[in-house]
Structures are given as structure tokens and as C-alpha cells.
Amino acid sequence: MGTFMGVYLPCLQNIFGVILFLRLTWVVGSAGVLQGLCIVFICCCCTMLTAISMSAIATNGVVPAGGAYFMISRSLGPEFGGAVGLCFYLGTTFAGAMYILGAIEILLMYIAPKAAIFESKQPEGEGAAMLNNMRVYGSICLLLMSLLVFVGVKYVNKLASIFLACVIVSIVSIYIGALVSAFKPPQFPVCMLGNRTISGHEIDDSQCAKTILQIKEPAEGVDANFTFIHENDTVGPTFDPSPSTILVETTYLWKHFCQGPELNASCDKYFTSNNFSEIDGIPGLASGIISENLWSSYLSKGDVVEKGSLKSSHDAQPASNHQPYVFADITTSFTLLVGIFFPSVTGIMAGSNRSGDLKDAQRSIPIGTILAILTTSIVYLTSVVLFGACIDGVVLRDKFGDSVKGNLVVGTLAWPSPWVIVIGSFFSTCGAGLQSLTGAPRLLQAIAKDNIIPFLRVFGHGKANGEPTWALLLTALIAELGILIASLDLVAPILTMFFLMCYLFVNLACGLQTLLRTPNWRPRFSYYHWTLSFLGMTICLALMFISSWYYAIVAMVIASMIYKYIEYHGAEKEWGDGIRGLSLSAARYALLRLEEGPPHTKNWRPQVLVLLKLDEDAHVKSPRLLTFASQLKAGKGLTIVGTVVSGNFLQSYGEALAAEQTLKHLMDKERVKGFCQCIVAQKPREGISHMIQSSGLGGMKPNTVVMGWPHAWRQSEDPQSWKTFINTVRVTTAAHLALLVPKNISLFPSNSEPCTEGYIDVWWIVHDGGMLMLLPFLLRQHKVWRKCGMRIFTVAQMEDNSIQMKKDLATFLYHLRIEAEVEVVEMHDSDISAYTYERTLMMEQRSQMLRQMRLSKSDREREGNPGSSSSRPEAGGATRSQVYLFPRYRSTGVHTSNTSKGNRDRQAQLVKDRNSMLRLTSIGSDDDDDTDGDRDRPTSSGGGGGSAEHQRRVQMTWTKERTSQYRAAHSGCSTPEGFRDMLSIRPDHSNVRRMHTAVKLNEVIVNKSHDARLVLLNMPGPPRNTEGDENYMEFLEVLTEGLERVLLVRGGGSEVITIYS
């Protein structure tokens, strides 16, 4: 089809509708010509701007069936497309209900008033009876139309041209009638009492009076229609004809205003004080009545329609419903009239809906649609002027034509007969209803076939020829809801909201694509600009709230609910839409603005890198690790889930993709929002190192690593698992990243197992920038840990002031805005127990045995290979310098702890601050330690030398092994005979002291926190020398022995919490 038949005429038929024939005269009468022009102009501007935006979108590619839904969904994404598409569907469905109600109103009001089933003898019940009639006949009409659509759309298409002809003939008759009225106005007298309009349903033209003189033998010069009017107890006229030939009778109106037909009956005061008169309902184009109709005349419900230019006496009580006045049925206002009129300018999508049938859609849609809108806009604007210039204001404000004997008001102006308009408007309204019932199911079917809303899938099916049977059934049921409302004036604002929301997003889609300047945005229609799109969007939004703010809110809530439903439950669709482009542009802009340096303490949040391990079947070994990470989402930070696949990238690319899908599936299951990353490397430790170095982008890099504790590492024949663990600890330390290691991760609660009570215990041994304080706060924001309390323990020695320490810590927590119980635990100095000595001996014997077993196996050559990872120096191990961070307090009277600089021997001593807050430093500090210096002083290293203070304190610092001495002592163990030396091993004194510290600290922690839901501990740093790795693991095991759930925390060397706002 071409432009004229395929776009122009269908748009005309869909735009012209019931409002033009039933409500436009009433809109002009209530709002006046000026405000009426304003209403029409605003609505037409809205559709014109939307048509420009739609033309740009429609000419940017092929638009198949679906019309507006297809354009919005492919431009703004499935979420917006589905939400707005359903709103457009609901609008089209309610439009069908509105057209049916309009047809039934024409039928019962103007064609066959006696066909009404429900009638009321009381005036108060007439409105309710009419609504019931509308419901019954509307339901019957909806059923017949639905059956016609079900039987075949081809019959509807054949009738479309007939219905369009009815519309054109009706409009032409209005223009001809307006021109004819300038020379010969039609005779439609309106009866007035004072300035009040009288309903003319049951009165003749000669009955607009109080009394009538019936003359049997009319005297010469006496008019047969002479009226005898009582006014202020005077009788007129002045002559006195023979009483035998004159009979005075009261009229039909007298009986409604007086208590009886007698001349001396008691009457209404307003009736007594005012006279009846007749005015021309259609004065004609040359009458100058437009000057009276320029200004608005809004009425409240129950007000009488009055003519302001007529004089009247108002010293009377308000009009009663029993009196034959013309009353306003609803309260009118500018905003209400906007909502009622706007559906008369909808239907601009008819051409785009037929894009598949057009010969050249990219040429026909813009030209046909814009020409149709220009045509209808001119018709509406000129109709407003013609109605105001030809019809009296009281008739214009008479919605149902009661003052002109129940005629259709616009029909009184038509030529040659009002029946032209009545019949033409009835059939055109029926045709528009059929078009709506035909188009709405197809729109729903298009949405269902896209499979973006799961529960709508059933409506994507239909008959064998593709007709949407189930969608038609649903459409009929929803339209029936509109029929049950039964009032055209109440249904119109509903579909106004849905259409306006659809047009709003069409404008948004065009403006967004224009501003983003995506390479694919190349519309053939070039007469558009993003300012026009945003102006149209603004007008749409303003009209929504102008017409009905509560309907607007309801429509937005419905659209938002559909949007969120599609976002969380709908199928994943990638349509290259503008929202994705907007997200890319926004992400690029934000990343460029985000500084790459460390964030301010107030802006610090955990950007987590979760390291997961996959088994041979590509299943995650410890899924609870991701569960724990999801419980930290209150930090609102970045989450990256990573894994390493062993092998070569060229051969293992498929495995990497499968591993990535596994991680994505687990993230969806745990509802973790983030990214997954899979790295292929020859060795896991190298892959982890690469991942830690390369994860993130710009300022969005991970600052916290979460990894699991190597399970059953003592029983493992392959030491690579726990060696990889220690290597990762070293890498995170070198990268200045925080490290979280949940121990016994399988015992941690899942997201469906909230802790009903208990405590999260924090053992604050070393200040690590505040991680130990911040992590429990974030965990308690999650439903799993919300009901847990928080306790903070710190350790004091004999010479510390425990009371003051507790007060200072409580003050510090108060300023941090963290609610927690504070407890200071005193650790007494004690001799090294036999258990500690035996435990240390067992540790060293086991270490020696494993070393000999490994060297005695066939992989001895690999262990001795200089290119292997075991003989290669650890990355960062030689250059990393350990930074001791101790609690710093601001504005609390607690000052920064000062660490001694160290002497020539680099002997690290325990740090004592001014208020003796902490005596204990990290178990795992690995370079500034006493044994570095003691290596040159054998007496001190053996524990026999050194100062008394140094020997008395419990050593809490991880020290380097005397590597050279240790290797020299066991250099002979490279042969099987070396196993005999294990029986003569004596434990190293520094190991004994460290084991003593771990055992004593573990006793205190188990004693206080054995029933805690979670225990947070400082994680000691690893030794620089790899020979002590097994001892380091053993010390951590001893430190956490007997605790159910432990989270080892190692800070990244920066402050993460502050007392300042």
C-alpha cells in the first residue's frame, strides 16, 4: 500500500472518534473558545512532536508488526518496551471500551431512547438507570464485536472503508451546516426561565410559558398564542375580551414549579419572580454569539446551566432536581477537559502498525502520519471556532442536548439534518471500537512472542493462521471492565494516561538516541531534533498530571511494576537498545571522573574480589564463600568473582567459558550483582597473581580479596594448595589489598538461615585501618546477621590500665557510631608449658618429615629445577616492607601509637602507646622482628641473652627463621639417613615463643567466644622466607583451634573508617 491508503486514511479513521461528536461542543461551552483552542492546541502539539520522534525511529530501520511497542522496546530495551507496550495495550483496550460506550450513548440518547431497559421515576435515579443501561447494552455490543473479530479480521478491514466514509460525511456536514447557518440558522429554540435553561424533552414550542389563553372564538386582533402571565399580582394585557370566549390554562411547566395546576397554587419563588422566554439555540455564524462564548463557564455537579447575558431574580432557594432544568452532571475544570479531550487526538500509530504492508514504509510513515495529524488538528481547531460562533453557550454546555429536545448538539448544526451526524457518528464509533479490538490483541501477541514477560507466553499462541485467540479473550475481559465503569467521561482519562505514557517514551527514545549519537542511529527522516523530542516528552508528562494526577501516579506505578518484573524475571534480551548505550556512556563518564588513587576514608567501601576454586567437573568447591560475600553487599561496592583454569589459553578457551557460565549461574543463585572473571594460566598461583593485578578498571578496582582456607592441608600429599594460599596472602599484601579468609566456611550460615541471636566477636589485637570494626557493621545490615550483637575484645597485660583502656575504646566506638559491647581481657605472663613445647616439637618434626618425603620422591628433580616456582623468589617478597598500624584516635584523648624506629639490628619491639591501649602486635609480622638482629647474636636468639624486659614479655611478632643456621643444621637430611636426625630435633626457641603466644591467645579467645556466631581475628602476615610456611600455617591452626566460625582479617594498609562525617 502507498502513503494515502496505507497510512493517511487509517490514521484519520483512528484519530477522528467519539469525542468529536459527543464531547467537543461541551468542551467549547465549558472552557470557552480561547481555552478550548488552548486545550486542542496542546494536545495536537503533543501528538505532532511525538509523530516527529516516531518518524525518526521508524525510518531508522525496518519496523515489523508491533508498531509502537517494537519501536520503544528496540530503542529503550525490553524493560521499557514491555512496560510501555503493556500500557499501550491497556490504552488501546480501554479505547475500545470508550468507543463502545460512545456508540451506546448515541443509541440510547439520540436514536432509540425508548430502548432503555432501566428507568427511574425519580429524577435522582435517572443517572444510575442510564449507567445500568450502558452496562447491559455495552456488554452485548462488546460480545458481538469480539465475535466479529474472532470470525475474521478481513470483515473488519472491509467495513473500515465504510466507517471512514461515515466519518468524512459527518465532518463535511458540520462545515456545510456552519456556513448555511450564516444565512438561514436552523430552528432550535431554547426555553429559558430567567437565565436558567429549561429541559425541552416534553414541551412544545408553544409551551414555554406559565399559562396559555385558550380562546374559543378568537376576537379580531387577539393572538391565539396570547399568554396570561401572573406577575407581582398584576394581570395583563390591558384590554378585557369577553370572558365567555377565553379560557386560561396552566402549562406543563406550571405543574413542575407549583403544587397544583390551579392559578392560585403555591409556586417556587424563582418561578414566580422570573418570566419564561425563548432564545435561538443556533443563532448562526453571523450572529456574533462568539463574543459571549470566548470565556470559560465551568460548572459544579448539580449546577443549573445558565445564560449570563439574561437578567434574572436570584432571591430564591437553589434549584431542585425535581424541576425541569438542565443540570451539570459532573464538575468541570480545565484539567478535566484536557483528560476527556485527549483521546480524540490519539491513533497516530495506525500507520506504523501497518509498516509490514507498506510499499515504502520509511517514506510513507512520516509523510502520512504528519499529514493526518495536520488535517485532524485543523479540523479540531476550526470546529472549536465554528461551534463557538454558531451555537449558544447554554446549548454548548448542555452535554446531552436536553435543551434542544434531546438532539445531539453537534447534530443541530449539521446540514441537511441532525440524523446525518447521529447515524454517521454511530457507525464511525462502532468502526473505531472494532479497530481497537483488532489491534490490541495483536499488540499483546507481539509482546508475548518476545518472551520478555513469562506469564504472558500463553497469549502468544492462537489459531492456525496466527490470529490471537487467547489475546482477544483477555482483551475482551479487560474491555468489559471499562464497560462496567459505564461513563465515557470516566473511561477517557484512563486511556489518556496510557497513551500519554506511550508517547512520552517514544519521545524519550528518539531524544536519547540522538544525544548518544550511536553509530547505528541513521534515520532517513531528518527533520527532527533532540530538543523537539524532550519538549514532546515534557508536554506528555505535564498533560498526565494536568488531566488527572492520581491516574498518572497509578499508571506510573503499573509501568514501574511491569518494568521491575521484566528486569528480575523476564528473559534476557539484547536488542542494542538506547538504554544499554546510555549505560555505556554513563559508565565511561563515571569511570573517567573517578580518581584512580585510593579513595577518601569516608568513601571507602569493600570492592571485593572473590577467589573460587572449581573441581574436575567445573563445580564450585566452596559456594558458601560467595554466600558470605553476598552478605557484605551493604557496602554497595563492586563484586568480582574469579577463578583460574589450569592449562593453555588456546586449548582451554572452552573450559574457561564453561567456568564463567558456572560462576554466573552461582551468582544468580546467590543474587550477587557483579562480574565474573576466568583466567587461564599454567599454574594457579600465577593465575591468581595475574587476576589480582588486572581485575577492575580505572578507579573501580578491588581493594579486598576473599579466599577460602585450604581444607585439610595437613593431610594433603600435594602441598601446592596451601602454598598457593600463602602465596596469595603475599600477593595481596604486596598489592596493599585487604584479605578476608573465612575458616570452616561450610559452617557459615546460608542466606536462608538467619541467626536468631548470639554475638559477632571482634578480637582487636592490631589496628589494621578499621577493617575489624567495619566488617561486623556491614554484616549486621544483612538479614542473616541482623539480630546478632557485637562485642569487641582487646588484650591488656599486667602493666596496662584496663579500666582506662575500656573507657577509651568505648569512646572511640561512640565516635565511630558503632554500637558494641567492649571488654578488655588481661593476659598474664606465664612460663612456657610442656604442652606448648611438645606441640612445637611435633610441628617441627612433621615439617622435617614432609620435607624428607617430598625430596625422596620422583619429583626431586622438579623441586631442584631452577625454573620451577618453588625455587623462584616470591613476587614482592624481597621488596615488601611491613607497615605496623595501631589504633589511632581522633578527638578522644587517645593518641597515635609510636613505633620505635629500630636500631642497627632492626630489632622490632612491642609498641606501647600513651594510654597503654595495646601491648600486642601481629603474630605474623615478617621483617622488622627480633630474630633479624638476633641472627648476629646467638645468645639473644636462644632466649638466654637480651634484656629482662625483652624476655619477660610474650612475643607477639612473627619473626624470620634463622634461615642459614637452620639450613646448615639440616643440610645432611637430604638422604634417607636424615630421618634418624628427627629423633634428636630440639625445637627452635623462637618457634616455641610463637607457639606459646598462639596457645595462650587461643585459650583466651575460646574461653570468651566459644558460643559466638562469628569470631573476627587479625590475620598475621606470612614469613618472608618460604622455609617457614608450614610453621605459619600451623600457628594459624593453633590460633583458631576450637572455634566454629572464624574470619581472619588482614588490612590493606589504609584507613577504612573514620569518626568524621
**Is the model more confident about 1061 or about 496?**
496
Residue 82: all three cell numbers together: 514491555
Cell 508491533 -> residue = 66
Sign of CA dihedral 447, 450, 454, 460: positive
List the one residue out of 414, 346, 389 whose CA is nearest residue 91: 346
Instruction: Work out the end-to-end distance of the chain between its first and last CA atoms, rounded to an integer number of angstroms.
Output: 68
Q: In this predicted model, what pLDDT tens digit does every residue of 851-881 receive, in sequence order?
A: 555 555 444 444 444 443 333 333 333 322 2
Question: Residue 1037: inside a domain, yes or no?
Answer: yes
Run of H or E including 680: strand 675-681
> Residues near 366 by Cβ (< 8 Å), separated by ≥ 6?
51, 55, 58, 59, 525
* Nearest by Cα to 507 from 524, 479, 476, 529: 529
Most confidently modeled of 290-299, 559-568, 1033-1042?
290-299
Is residue 461 within 8 Å of residue 449, measured between CB atoms? no
* DSSP secondary structure letters along 882-910: --------SSSS-PPP------TT-----
198 part of a folded domain: no
The answer to whether 697 touches 596, Cβ cutoff 8 Å, is no
Helices 549-569 and 488-516 meet at what angle, rounded to 10?
Answer: 50
Q: Using a pLDDT cut of 70, give the percent of the chain over it.
A: 76
CB contact at 8 A, 142 and 480: yes
Q: Which one of 569, 603, 636 terminates a domain?
A: 569
CA dist., res. 766 & res. 919, Å (int): 9
Report the alpha-carbon distance of residue 502 to residue 99 in Å, rounded. Answer: 20
The phi and psi torsions of 681 (rounded to 5 degrees) equal: -145, 155
> Residue 280 phi/psi, 5° resolution?
-80, 120
**Would the pLDDT of 637 be above 60?**
yes
State residue 184 phi and psi, 5-degree precision. -140, 85
> For residue 228, is pLDDT > 50?
no
pTM: 0.68
Q: Which residues pair with 247 in a beta bridge?
A: 214
869 and 730 in contact (C-beta within 8 Å)?
no
Continuous H helices in 393-523? 393-396, 409-413, 418-449, 469-485, 488-516
Residue 215 lies in a domain: no
Tell me, what's the pLDDT at 894? 34
Total domain count, the chain: 2
Residue 137 has a pLDDT of 94
Lowest mean pLDDT among 135-144, 429-438, 463-472, 622-631: 463-472
Its domain, for residue 523, covers 3-185+333-352+372-569
> What is the spatial distance between Cα 946 and Cα 882, in angstroms, rounded to a whole number?
24
**What pLDDT is stored for residue 234 in this prediction?**
35
1003 versus 971: which is more confidently predicted? 1003
Residue 589: strand, helix, or coil: helix
The verdict on residue 347 lying in a domain is yes
DSSP state of 793: E
| Strand 211-215 with 789-796, pairing | unpaired
The model's confidence at residue 570, banded by pLDDT at 50, 70 and 90, is: low
Give residue-wise pLDDT tens across range 817-837. 888 888 888 776 654 455 554
Q: How far is CA 922 from CA 243, 439, 910, in A?
A: 129, 74, 10
Sequence-separated (6 or more) residues with CB below 8 Å from residue 188: 280, 281, 282, 395, 404, 405, 407, 412
Query: Per the domain annotation, does 395 fall within a domain?
Result: yes
Beta 608-611 vs 639-646: how paired, if at all? parallel
How far, in Å, CA of 267 to CA of 317, rounded? 12
CA 32 to CA 817: how far, in whole Å? 63
Helices (H), 59-125: 68-76, 78-106
Q: What CATH number is given to the structural domain containing 565? A: 1.20.1740.10
Question: What's the one-letter identity of residue 294?
Answer: L
What 3-state DSSP class applies to 457? helix
Q: Give 320's pLDDT tier (boundaries 50, 70, 90).
A: confident
pLDDT computed for residue 5 by the predictor = 84
For residue 192, tell me if it sits in a domain: no
Q: Which residues pair with 977 in a beta bridge?
A: none
Residue that has been written with the C-alpha cell 630489632 in this structure: 907
Rounded Cα distance between 61 and 779, Å, is 50
Cβ atoms of 129 and 113 within 8 Å: the answer is: no
Give the cell for residue 245: 370566549
What percent of the chain is modeled with pLDDT above 90? Answer: 20
Grid coordinates representing 256 are: 413542575
Sign of CA dihedral 45, 47, 48, 54: positive
Among 297, 300, 296, 306, which residue's Cα sits nearest to residue 331? 300
pLDDT of the residue at 474: 94
Residues pairing with 920 in the sheet: none
Contacts of 814 (CB under 8 A, 6+ apart): none
Query: Over the stretch 21-46, which tens digit does the pLDDT of each residue have?
Result: 999 999 999 999 999 999 999 999 99
**Cis? peptide before 742, omega within 30° of 0:** no
Q: How confident is the model at residue 230 (pLDDT cuts 50, 70, 90)?
A: very low
Residue tagged 527532527 (cell numbers): 528
Question: What's phi and psi for 865, nearest 5 deg?
Answer: -70, 125
Domain boundary among 536, 569, 602: 569
Last residue of a domain, one of 523, 541, 569: 569
CA dist 14 and 352 (Å) reads: 12
Residue 792 in any domain: the answer is yes
Band of pLDDT at residue 179, cut at 50, 70 and 90: very high
Query: Are the beta carbons of 16 and 165 closer than 8 angstroms?
Result: no
Q: Which amino acid is at 777?
A: F
**For residue 559, which phi and psi values (nearest 5 degrees)?**
-65, -40
Residues 363-392 have a mean pLDDT of: 94
Measure Cα distances from 417 to 20, 110, 114, 372, 748 in Å. Answer: 18, 13, 21, 28, 85
Average pLDDT score over residue span 468-476? 91
Q: How far apart are CA 1011 and CA 803, in angstroms?
A: 25
How big is the CA angle at 679 (ends 674 and 680), to the nearest 5 degrees? 155
- In this prediction, residues 399-426 reach a mean pLDDT of 89
Instruction: Tell me the C-alpha distance between 906 and 920, whole Å.
Output: 18
C-alpha distance from residue 349 to each of 13, 543, 720, 975 (Å): 12, 19, 67, 89
- Is the pLDDT score of 525 beyond 60? yes
Lowest mean pLDDT among 266-275, 327-336, 942-951: 942-951
Peptide bond into 237 cis (omega under 30): yes
Angle, helix 126-151 to helix 153-181, in steps of 10 degrees:
130
pLDDT of residue 507: 92
Helix (H, G, I), strand (E, B), or coil: what is residue 193? strand
Mean pLDDT, all residues of the chain: 77
Say what the pLDDT of residue 950 is.
39
Q: 805: left (phi > 0), else alpha (psi -120 to 50), else beta?
A: alpha
Q: What is the model's pLDDT at position 981?
A: 47
Region 379-400: what's the mean pLDDT? 94
Set of cell numbers at residue 443? 499488540
Parallel/antiparallel/unpaired status of strands 1046-1050 and 1014-1018 = parallel
- Judge whether 220 lies within some domain: no
Of the listed ranges 6-15, 253-262, 493-502, 854-863, the least confidently predicted one is: 854-863
Q: Give 548's pLDDT tier (boundaries 50, 70, 90).
A: confident
The pLDDT value recorded for residue 924 is 44
Q: What pLDDT is stored for residue 711 in this prediction? A: 79
User: Taking 80 as the threshold, does the pLDDT of residue 509 lie above it?
Assistant: yes
